[in-house]
Amino acid sequence: MGHGAAKKFLSENEIPESIKIIDLSQDFRLKENASIGNREFVYGLPELNKEAIRSANNIANPGCFATCIQLGLLPLAKAGLLNQVYTTGITGSTGAGQSLTATSHFSWRNNNISAYKTLTHQHLHEIGQSLKQLQPAGDLDFSFIPWRGDFTRGIFVSSHIHCNEELKDLIQLYEDFYQDHPFTQVSREVIFLKQVVNTNKCIVQLEKVGTKLVVHSITDNLLKGASGQAVQNMNLMFGIDECAGLKLKANYFSYTMKLFDVYPINDITIVKARGSYVWDKNGEQYLDLYGGHAVISIGHSHPHYVERVTRQLNNVAFYSNSIRNPFQEELAEKLGKVSGREDYQLFLCNSGAEANENALKLASFTNGRKKIIAFKKSFHGRTSLAVAATDNPAIVAPVNETPNVIFLPFNDEASLEAVFKAQGSEISSVIIEGIQGVGGINVASESFLRTIRRLCTQYGALFIADSVQWVMAAVVNSFRKTMPA
């Protein structure tokens, strides 16, 4: 019903109180007008009043401009950062209301634009009410200039305030605020209207120059600004999936492949690295104590490393292990001499997980047994058998679960002795990190390692040393011992 008609209809007709109502007019949006008879209306902006909507029987659906503007400003209000707000917004011809007017005709709209209801738009009051709900203290000065646009659907709003906060902190503020709201997203890229047309989404983008913060927000005025939000409210009222019926595809959508979410991503983009230092895209310098999982142990861009890699890339970048490779043979010879293990064989692979995977398989091939002893808080990799021997159920898929891995307390010799005594003839291998990394800096005692060695020899099991951290410590210790005083 149009504005004013809903209130008139309810006053003239007796509707059973068991009937839930969602009203799209502005008749009940303001608190002073939210009651009629025994009915009390809740303002239906889920990002603001989700819990109240769940238990409500009557909803006043927000206005289209009001929705888009508020979703751009609510996190700032919650943080008490709003002062003077200057907002402009442009809407398509479907946002012009039900009445026929000269400005809704195609011939007027085409290749044309104009401001309307400057500083007097009817949504100002409900916007102010919501912002005051989150930021009750202080005076809020809000100014809004709406525009008629040369397109059919959608709203694009830009709000400008003075703000001293860092942009990265503000983005985090918005992401935290909207983390439990499926239809409002924070973009770190430039946004445009076609990303939301035909959806119930709102996308927000922040830009900052000096102390001036601009918040852009975009919605489809017919969906998130009207009927889509009404369906979202209905879902919440009836206790069903909030997104039911609203999984819609935008006019513009991208098939750009996303990176698989493996690790929590720190919001730093490294663009340069030298020695023990790295620099981000903003020129900030960092002392690199991380080294990419301790991979860059010789420092970044070491001249000898760069020269040798460049020389090889200019000759042969890659070829199969099915042909002789003098560099692999040279590496095997040097590692044998350095380690004092010339009688060993070298298996070259790409990662610690792959090394552990093959070590566990080789052990089983060697003695024909199935059971593996690993330890609490261990991390041996994410590949099939390596992850099965890792004490982290969150990364072990059902297909990797096996009763053949026995997890024992770290540094507990009595438990180890007991398992070997009970199942020694079934134990294929024992895998241990001499220094646990992911599970915390836990160091295996010399006595514990000697007990593993003794029991493996006694029962015919293989001792597998997962030694990324361990070897680094041993190498450092070796250099310390051989360096002149």
Catalytic positions: 64
Characterize 360-381 residue by residue with b for buried, 16 or more Cβ atoms within 10 angstroms of its Cβ, and e for exposed: beebbeebebebbbbbebbbbb
Residues 6+ apart with CB under 8 A from 321: 328, 348
User: Cα dihedral sign for 44, 221, 123, 102?
Assistant: negative
Characterize 256-286 residue by residue with b for buried, 16 or more Cβ atoms within 10 angstroms of its Cβ, and e for exposed: eeeeeeeeeeeeeeeeebeeeebeeeeeeee
According to DSSP, the residues that pair with 212 across neighbouring strands are 162, 209
Instruction: Determine how many CB atoms are found less than 10 A away from the CB of residue 143.
Output: 14
User: Structure tokens of 21?
Assistant: 């109502």
Instruction: Measure CA 423 to chain center.
Output: 44
SS3 481: helix
CB neighbour class for 61 (10 Å; exposed up to 12, middle 13-18, buried from 19): buried
Residue 8 CA to residue 21 CA, distance in Å, equals: 14
Residue 2 CA to residue 7 CA, distance in Å, equals: 10
